[in-house]
Amino acid sequence: MPTASRFEGRVCVITGAASGIGRAVLVRLVSEGAQSIGVDLNAGGLAESAEMAARAAAHGGQARVLTASVAEEADIKRVFDDVVREEQRLDVLVNMAGVLRSKPTTEVTAEEFEALLRVNLLGTFLCCREALPHLLATRGNIVNAASMSAFVGHPYMAGYSASKGGVVALTHALSREYLLRGVRVNAVAPGGILTGMAANPGFTPEMDPRLFQHVTRPDRLLGQPEQVAGVVAMLASEDGGFVNGEVIRVDGGTHG
């Protein structure tokens, strides 16, 4: 674990913290001194993440968790009301909550497409909207989860790709809107990362594997969630203090 104390005294909210990259970010920020609040629908996974963060805690860092759906406006209002009431401030928002569905486009229902947008895009927007008044007070920052699928065609993932393209556009818009008010907004764009989502993408036999050759490494190597968390920590800290409106690829060079 790193020995830096870049987040000592800072309050951070991390969505999608019950597993994968969100869990890795929670652990990383607590290890660097953050008072971190993990948010997810999966209460059991959140409890495991909190235990892992407690073992990694240093520089006064602590973790607590809140069960909520990022796709539900009332839940998100409740989360940020709780955070500001209990912690008295907010310095960093990391939007990592997301869902992935793989399916031939002609078989995707309107409800399935909308469900992806609700979590990946609407959820990110709602969290940003509720966090921004508090981040303005602390001159804090936001890190969003985009994806390389927003830039390079990922077959059978039209809804997921569209939602992540929306996150990229939202990141750019907010970074410009708050440029002169002290709030930075950036994003990471992971490629193939070893998470439960990547391990179970829902591929079916009719999906032609040849179409995936341009989005996978020749050696099939996947990145680790902790490697993405390291980039998030840089962006959210003062080390990233002059980085704004960027979407940083974390894909091991997969997409050229």
* CA proximity to 167, closest of 94, 83, 111, 254: 94
- Residue 176: pLDDT over 60: yes
The whole-number pLDDT of residue 198 equals 64
* Catalytic positions: 160
> Which of the residue ranges 27-41, 42-56, 208-222 would you say has the lowest mean pLDDT?
208-222
Domains of the chain as residue ranges with CATH: 11-250 (3.40.50.720)
Length of the chain: 256
What is the tens place of the pLDDT at every residue in 66-108? Answer: 999 999 999 999 999 999 999 999 999 999 999 999 999 999 9
- Residue 1: pLDDT over 60: no
What is the tens place of the pLDDT at every residue in 104-149? Answer: 999 999 999 999 999 999 999 999 999 999 999 999 999 999 999 9
Torsions phi, psi for 162 (to 5 deg): -65, -40
Label residue 47 exposed, middle or buried (CB < 10 Å: 0-12, 13-18, 19+): middle
- Residue 55: pLDDT over 60: yes
Cβ within 8 Å of residue 199, ≥6 positions away:
none
What's the pLDDT band for 199 if we cut at 50, 70, 90? low
**For residue 211, what are its two tokens?**
């179409």
Radius of gyration of the chain (CA): 17
DSSP, collapsed to helix, strand or coil, labels residue 184 as strand
Name the pTM for this structure. Answer: 0.94
* CA proximity to 204, closest of 112, 109, 107: 107
Is 121 in contact with 166 (CB distance < 8 Å)? Answer: yes
Strand partners, 227: none
Is 53 in contact with 122 (CB distance < 8 Å)? Answer: no
**For residue 189, what are its two tokens?**
């764009």
Average pLDDT of the residues of the chain:
94
- Residue 235: pLDDT over 60: yes
The whole-number pLDDT of residue 215 equals 77
